[in-house]
Amino acid sequence: MTQVGSVLVVGASAAGLATAEALRRKGYQGALTVIGGEFHPPYDRPPLSKQVLAGEWVPERAQLRTADQLAALDAEIVLQDPARSLDTAARTVRTASGRAVRADAVVIATGLRSRAFPGQQSLEGVHTLRSLDDALALRSALQSADRTVVIGDGVLGAEIAATARGMGVDVTLVGMLTAPMVGLLGSRMAARLAQLHTDRGVHMEFGVAVEFLQEERGRVTAVGLADGRVLPARTVVVAIGSVPATDWLTDSGLTVADGVVCDAFCQAADGVYAVGDVARWHHRGLGKFVRWENRTNANEQAAAVAANILGENRPYTPVPYMWTDQFDAKIQAHGLLGEDADVQVVEGSEEDGRFVALYRRDGHMTGVLGWNMPKQARLHRAAVVDHYTAQAALHA
């Protein structure tokens, strides 16, 4: 591409903001516009299910930048005006208010929205958690609830269950799989997590599907399980995953398949890039297309996209990293752990609730799990780096 003189970022959250900042850090001086759909200035999501939900932080503490820091970015930041369409060839975005913005490079950073349980939208008392407003609404509901049912196998459901329990609420966590986060942690460590929740008084109902939400006069009253049991609750949290926010791209001509499909450089079309939770790109180290929903990826991919906009042509081959805090467990994962891996504790001990475990699959070291040992887990990270970058070097 020729010299880039204008960049438009769609989505004013972690990945969008980080892309704008990375462009400036790398010396880009051209026009910069960031369009966001929400009313709030950019804020961070991980605290929403932890400190903000628990009430330990005032919501403002989750803001990613101060007003001064945003001003220093020298960007036009438009809030509360979601993009409605993209003309890919003309690289022009149209927004809900009728604004049309053309740019030499367009960055798609619209993230995800929560998946809904069929019929939940019309019911009072049923919550999802993706935005700050969601978090405040759920907090206020939990403050007056004596019991709640959280539906979901993933990290979000488990975190919400832990935080709600910490608020003194009687919590039941329901999942279809064998244990919480089993896809991410593998069966052995997921069983350990389930035990932690049980020890802290969370009722665990796993290996059973939710079939329906019972209601009375428009308010949820219970959760009906496939085995015929009915769990009463007037506050229910649905955490059954998220879907990429790509509705606005329907007529763009871009390939959208569970995310915006990109090449190894995070480019979806000439001059159009995707970053963060919404992006599915070709990871050359792994030799496949992946889409990662984690906070560190938003920042790292933003740096790669900014570099590629400015012509660096750098394939993006990160080592994934995610963390979660549940009760007093700080769990960290470098690399991909996976369900079928061979797990070996190499430092600390499971009995003490502090350890590092290595995950091996098909003879490859693929992941490191830290359980209340963040620093030690990071020190073992070097063992998995090759798995993510070696092939990329071959293809380079």
Partner 1 sequence: MKITVDEDKCCGAGQCVLLAPEVFDQRDDDGIVVLLDAAPAAGHHAAVRESAAVCPAAAIVLSEDA
Nearest to 69 by CA among 50, 48, 42: 42
DSSP string, 236-249: EEE-S-EEE--GGG
Q: Which is nearer to partner 1, 284 or 380 (CB)?
A: 380
Instruction: Give min distance, CB of 325 to partner 1, in A.
Output: 7
Q: How far is the CB of 132 from ligand FAD (least distance, A)?
A: 9
Nearest to 124 by CA among 238, 5, 30, 221: 221
Sheet holding 279-283, edge to edge: 260-261, 279-283, 288-290
381 by DSSP, 3-state: which? coil
CA 138 to CA 351: how far, in whole Å? 34
Residues in the site for ligand FAD, rule: CB under 6 A? Answer: 10-16, 35-38, 45-46, 48-49, 82-83, 109-112, 129-130, 156, 245, 248, 276-278, 293-296, 298, 322-324
Site string for partner 1, 52-91 (x = CB under 8 A): ------------xx--------------------------
- Looking at beta carbons only, is 246 or 376 nearer to partner 1? 376
Q: Which is nearer to partner 1, 44 or 339 (CB)?
A: 44
Report strand pairing: 112-114 vs 230-232: unpaired
**Gyration radius (Cα) of the chain, Å:** 22
Q: Does 389 bind partner 1 (CB under 8 A)?
A: no
Nearer to partner 1, 206 or 327 (CB): 327
Residue 366 has which token pair?
């693929």
| CA 379/CA 149 separation, integer angstroms | 38
When the beta carbons of 46 and 374 are compared against ligand FAD, the nearer one is: 46
CB of 300 to partner 1, least distance (A): 6
In whole angstroms, the minimum distance from the beta carbon of 137 to partner 1 comes to 23
What are residue 146's phi and psi, to 5 degrees? -95, -20
State the DSSP code for 60.
Answer: G
Which residues have CB under 8 Å from 196's CB, separation 6+? Answer: 326, 327, 329
Which part of the chain contacts partner 1 (CB under 8 A), choosing from 17-25, 82-90, 104-112, 183-191?
17-25
User: Rule CB under 8 A: which of 308-367 touch partner 1?
Assistant: 321, 323, 325, 330, 332
User: Least distance in Å: CB of 206 to partner 1?
Assistant: 27
Q: Would you tell me which residues interact with partner 1 (CB under 8 A)?
A: 18, 21-22, 25, 44, 46, 64-65, 294-296, 298-300, 302-303, 321, 323, 325, 330, 332, 370, 372-376, 378, 381
